[in-house]
Structure 1
Amino acid sequence: MGRHDMLLARMPEELVDDARNVVDLLVGDLRDFSEVGQIEIQRFLWILLPVTWGMPSQEWPRVAEASAQLLELASRPTLAGLARSPETAEVFGAYARSREEGIEAANAAIERTGTNPPDTELLTWRRSVSSAEASAYDELQRVLETAIIAGEYEPGRPGWRRKQQALTERWLTTPSRYFHNERPLDVIHKDRRETWIDAGPQIRGRVLGLVEPLIHRPVTVPSAEPEPLVWLLARIGDGVRLTQRGYLPPEIAREADELFGWKPAPGRVTRELDLPQLRDLHVLVRHHKLVAKRQGMLRLSARGRAALEEPVKLWELAARAWLGDSPYDQAVNEVAAAMLLTKPTYWVQMAAAAHEMVSPMFRTPEGEPVHWRLTQAAIWIWLRRGAMFGFVTYDPEGWGGELDEDVTEDEICPDCGGTVQSGSEADDADGADACDADDRDHAGAGDAGGFEVTARPVGAGDAAEIAAGRLPLVVAAYKGVHLLSDTGRSAAVTALRLRANDPHD
């Protein structure tokens, strides 16, 4: 005899088959109905039944009634009421119209119950999750359900979301027997780091694995703020009027050049586009919603004002933003950051290795392989941003010798095991694809932000220009390496830790 046969024997004959299916799905022979939580009934009635059971919509209410009677017989009247509730009827009606409308109605109904774990400052839940994160999410749903029953908060009442978030953060940071006395937050982050390292080709995993121990260690936030970012946020303040085309006004461009010496020589600064670093900053503050645009004015957002008042958050934002704005840029530059954390590195070596490790994971909108020039551009902008923040320096004497034009791939990227264009081939490809910076979206992965193609030996006055990010990278292709400053090492570790813990942020 099955564990729940006595309950099934008390069911009306016309509902027995449905009730048996419900028993098999919810509890089987291993659990009792006393262990079933509200979220499990919600998930079954509002998602699994309409989406996966493959029965006509007019039969859903019968299954819901069978569930309700089972739950009543099992002394779970509250859950039985949920099966008969107006919310369940509304969700069924939405699914009858379309699957998309039904899923939207189900998610909204679950959200109103207050049992969905919220995003917090500590953790943003991911849609595609590992088994560890899924287990944590389910367990936390049960914790929140218990808290509602105990009266710790009431969904819909003033302040309930704040209480829900506080309870969530407390649970995430408290060692749990459910996770062998580890903190759930640490378990989730560990699982995410493993997933992050294992994504893509094996060589990528080996490179990131070399620096993985570093991201466990506490990072001291440098006392020096990311000066250009702080300056621009303070300068925007209560508002500056943008140009007709949406750029920062000329006076801000001139001030930036006077403060930071970003002007390419020769030339004078008359607009934002004359300073690629300023353009980078503008894109950064817009992308991270630190500013808001309205009626031609750019003002600090609430998030921007908060960042100015919290040095740690501003530091983390600058470190994360350093990796770039698009998924491709971020994936390329996390490899570059890992390489510089191990030793000073020649830029072509970084670009070639990153291209070999990352490009197989992406395709263009047309379904084509990612071109080498996009990887070059991503590395260039990353180094330029790093120089702007003081994270990256340039040693003109760091390279022991010249790189031959016909250098083998193994000399550029040992163990990559694929085909990477040589520097001269890549340069030719870039030269054929020049485009006007005024007419392109600067935030895209393919935007080189002033990337030029010039092949010539490094001159005596070039080192400072390369270090400041003012000369094309290929000028440095014959001599010199980039390396991280002390602040840059902290920034790289911080950026990689944030990427590993939440790669989809």
Structure 2
Amino acid sequence: MQLIVDRAVVDAIVAGLSARDRQLAEDARAAVEWLTGFDGDDLPAVFSRRELQLFLWYQLPKKWLIQAAEQQAVAEALASFFDEVGTEAAPLAALCRSTETAALIRSGGKNLAAALERSGLEPPDTPLLTWSEFMSIEEALEHDLVASLLEDALDTGQLVPGTKGWRQHQTELVDSYLSRPEESGTAPLTRIHTARRKTWLELPGRNTQRDLLEHALAAINSDPPSRAESEEAIEPLLWLLEQLANGVKRTQTGALPRTLVRAAVERYPDWWNSSVGPPYQEAELYQLCVLHDLIDALKLARQQRSTLQLTPKGRALHADPQHLLREVASSLAAELPAEFDLPLAQLIIDDQPDEIDWSLHGLLTPFHAITVKHHTPTAVTRGGRTLAAAILNARANGPRNTLS
């Protein structure tokens, strides 16, 4: 909800509170000015549930350098102010007096992130978009618009946090907004991605690389991967998920069993030098370790007692290789330094490179994306080029969580 209160009304309410309790009135005025600014009598005071929540749960406990009991008194003073505004401000007064607000003030804002998520007001990460820690102006504006959309949905009862399926409904509301073109013909998601690509292309030291990177991105955007191409790009991961479909018993150290390790070598001979005999444990196969770690990171499987089984997410993505490829690419891209961008772009543009950058070997070999002879990368498979494109696309369009 958005509550607009004329400054003259604000002053009258504070004066009325002062007649009852001078300290209460001073606390209320200070909190109102913090929330709405103090731009004189011309502009009204504007309150929203989300801004009030951030004040009560984060700014008050973290930035007001007073005792917790005094902070609680400020919250109560603000509640008293909203009481005087009228019934339309009752939800805001209730938030000031809520047990969650009191708990966060007492703890100094501990477990803030979980509380914000439970509130339903903060834009969540969705299958379409993970929000950046360092947002462009365009992304920050869209983030605020999504927050307003969620606040409206809560006010109208369209979204009720804590009820069955509310998080899925919240995600659907956000993704629907992000993907829906406006009158200009441009969807919010497109604006965010355009701003992210611009920032990515302008990273320091890219003056001589920009044309090549832009060429690679244009090639990616003009030819998104089909289902068959996605399957080929992550075939070893799909194979491993298939092995886990009926459950696999882990060793005492939590590793994959020897039978599965040797089955992997039989399927992918490039992974092992057979002249030294068969492998005995997962730790001997770098590629299998990478895939196992990726399954854990993406929460595609979980351990029940000693058995590793697919999660519902793992089963769903195993049946949707295009979505799984995007998840894999996003996970890999987030861990890569900027130095990988140019070799990936060259791999996408050049169908038959004379030489494969060695830095790509460790990244792509777990997916059988590079042909290796005598321990030397000699060629890139078609699936490898598809995976490289997905990773570079995720690098360009992914969230900005660092300043470099």
TM-score, normalising length: structure 2: 0.78
- Determine if contact 2:209/2:342 at 8 Å carries over to the other structure: no
What is the aligned partner in structure 2 of residue 24 from structure 1?
33
Gaps of 5+ in 2: none
- Distance across 2 between alignment mates of 1:254 and 1:339: 34
Q: 2:194 aligns with which of 190, 194, 197?
A: 190
- Distance across 1 between alignment mates of 2:330 and 2:148: 33
Residue 252 of structure 1 pairs with residue 260 of structure 2? yes
- Determine if contact 1:172/1:185 at 8 Å carries over to the other structure: yes
- Distance across 2 between alignment mates of 1:472 and 1:287: 29
Number of equivalences: 379
Q: How far off is 1:38 after superposition?
A: 0.6
Per the alignment, do residues 173 and 158 of structure 1 end up closer, same or farther by CA in structure 2, a change over 3 Å counting? same
**Deviations 1:22-52, CA, capped at 9 Å, x for gaps:** 443333447534x421111111222222322
Q: How far off is 1:174 after superposition?
A: 2.2
Q: Which amino acid aligns with 1:64?
A: A
Residues 65-464 of structure 1 aligned to structure 2 (within 5 Å): 65-75=76-86, 76-78=88-90, 79-95=92-108, 102-104=109-111, 106-176=112-182, 182-202=186-206, 206=210, 208-224=213-229, 225-226=231-232, 227-243=235-251, 246-262=254-270, 263-264=272-273, 266-271=275-280, 272=282, 276-317=286-327, 319=329, 323=332, 327-328=335-336, 331-343=338-350, 344-345=352-353, 347=355, 350=357, 378-385=359-366, 388-389=368-369, 392=370
Percent of aligned positions that are identical = 31
What is the aligned partner in structure 2 of residue 432 from structure 1?
none
- Determine if contact 1:117/1:137 at 8 Å carries over to the other structure: yes
Q: Which amino acid aligns with 1:213?
A: A
Q: Which amino acid aligns with 1:236?
A: L
- Determine if contact 2:130/2:399 at 8 Å carries over to the other structure: no
- Distance across 1 between alignment mates of 2:393 and 2:384: 14
Q: Which amino acid aligns with 1:342?
A: I
What is the aligned partner in structure 1 of residue 48 from structure 2?
37
- Distance across 1 between alignment mates of 2:73 and 2:297: 50
Q: Which is worse superposed, 126-135 or 149-158? A: 126-135
Residue 489 of structure 1 pairs with residue 385 of structure 2? yes
- Determine if contact 2:131/2:399 at 8 Å carries over to the other structure: no
- Determine if contact 2:216/2:345 at 8 Å carries over to the other structure: yes
Q: Which is worse superposed, 153-162 or 291-300? A: 291-300
- Distance across 2 between alignment mates of 1:22 and 1:59: 12
Per the alignment, do residues 46 and 222 of structure 1 end up closer, same or farther by CA in structure 2, a change over 3 Å counting? closer
What is the aligned partner in structure 1 of residue 57 from structure 2?
46
- Determine if contact 2:27/2:74 at 8 Å carries over to the other structure: yes
Per the alignment, do residues 273 and 90 of structure 1 end up closer, same or farther by CA in structure 2, a change over 3 Å counting? closer
- Distance across 2 between alignment mates of 1:170 and 1:45: 30
- Distance across 2 between alignment mates of 1:274 and 1:232: 17
Q: How far off is 1:337 after superposition?
A: 1.0
Q: How far off is 1:293 after superposition?
A: 3.7
- Determine if contact 2:79/2:97 at 8 Å carries over to the other structure: yes
In terms of Rg, which structure is larger?
Answer: 1
- Distance across 2 between alignment mates of 1:109 and 1:229: 35
Q: Which amino acid aligns with 1:71?
A: F
Secondary structure class of the residue paired with 1:201: coil
Q: How far off is 1:276 after superposition?
A: 4.6
Residue 499 of structure 1 pairs with residue 395 of structure 2? yes
- Distance across 2 between alignment mates of 1:84 and 1:279: 51
Q: How far off is 1:215 after superposition?
A: 4.2
What is the aligned partner in structure 2 of residue 402 from structure 1?
none
Residue 4 of structure 1 pairs with residue 7 of structure 2? yes
- Determine if contact 1:253/1:269 at 8 Å carries over to the other structure: no
Q: Which amino acid aligns with 2:321?
A: P
What is the aligned partner in structure 2 of residue 443 from structure 1?
none
Gaps of 5+ in 1: 96-101, 352-377, 393-466, 474-481
Q: How far off is 1:151 after superposition?
A: 1.7
Q: 1:468 aligns with which of 360, 372, 386?
A: 372
- Distance across 1 between alignment mates of 2:77 and 2:215: 56
- Determine if contact 2:134/2:400 at 8 Å carries over to the other structure: no
Per the alignment, do residues 238 and 80 of structure 1 end up closer, same or farther by CA in structure 2, a change over 3 Å counting? same
- Determine if contact 1:221/1:490 at 8 Å carries over to the other structure: no
Secondary structure class of the residue paired with 1:468: strand
- Distance across 2 between alignment mates of 1:302 and 1:470: 40
**Deviations 1:175-203, CA, capped at 9 Å, x for gaps:** 357xx663222222223333333445335
Per the alignment, do residues 64 and 265 of structure 1 end up closer, same or farther by CA in structure 2, a change over 3 Å counting? closer
- Determine if contact 1:341/1:484 at 8 Å carries over to the other structure: no
What is the aligned partner in structure 2 of residue 434 from structure 1?
none
